[in-house]
Amino acid sequence: MIDAHIHADCRPYEDFEIMTVAGIESALTLAHDPMRMSTSTVVLDHFHRILENDFRRANNNGLTLKAALGLHPRSICSDYELVLEKLPEFLDRDEVVALGEVGLESISRLEKEVFKTQLLMAGEMGMKVAVHTPRRNKREVTIETMSLINDNIDTGLVVVDHVDPSIIDLMEDFEGMMGITVQPQKMTPQEAVKLLDETFEEYGPERFMLDSDMSSSPSDPLSVPKTVHQLKLAGWENKKIKKLSHNNAAKFYHI
């Protein structure tokens, strides 16, 4: 199994052992806003912490990490231009497979500018992009998010994450990937199975991946295995389960 969206820097050492014991082989850890991202120095130190400290902690427990790095909409510091200037150097590293987590939170002018700049950067570099959708005003923000994606990058490079019943219809004509986040206060494993039952074949079985978004918010390192268990109980074929829980993410991120 692959957990396609975590924030390893927020999790205790023991979580990585729990994940590997449960059958998770790899995970993608994404840049976000673990603290007050007041300056570019803080943001860049966050990147270094992921690549140095968190990769080591996970590897010591047998979990292979890959990273997505970028300016989260809640991490736009006063001197964000310096982060954007340095970002291509980080994206060029072998262990960094995507630009992310990026997107919109409040649809401010600055958020849209920074998001667009990163989409164009990813397009020029041929990088995959992991896109955030927020908890609040989710549908309104996602409509604007999809507009910027469609206008500024090949959608085949993009995964829109935290897709739930409130926005799934917005993905119908989108040709990229969709992340189904199973996390307390977002979606239970049973709710994820219901959503997938209704959309998996219609939207395309190659377009979904599972993740836990485990972070400092209420989280479960076993979200992906628990969802796989519920899919088995619901009678899903092993081939389809493997697409959702491993193959689609592995193919998209080349991991």
**Residue 133's pLDDT band (cuts 50, 70, 90):** very high
Q: Which amino acid is present at 87? A: L
Tokens read off for 77: 């510091």
pLDDT computed for residue 226 by the predictor: 98
pTM of the model: 0.97
The dihedrals phi and psi of 188, each to the nearest 5 degrees, come to: -85, 165
**Residue 192's pLDDT band (cuts 50, 70, 90):** very high
pLDDT computed for residue 126 by the predictor: 97
CA distance 152 to 58: 34
Number of C-beta neighbours around residue 192 at 10 A: 25
CB 226, CB 188: distance < 8 Å: no
CA distance 215 to 46: 14
CB 141, CB 134: distance < 8 Å: yes
Question: What average pLDDT does this structure show over 86-92?
Answer: 98
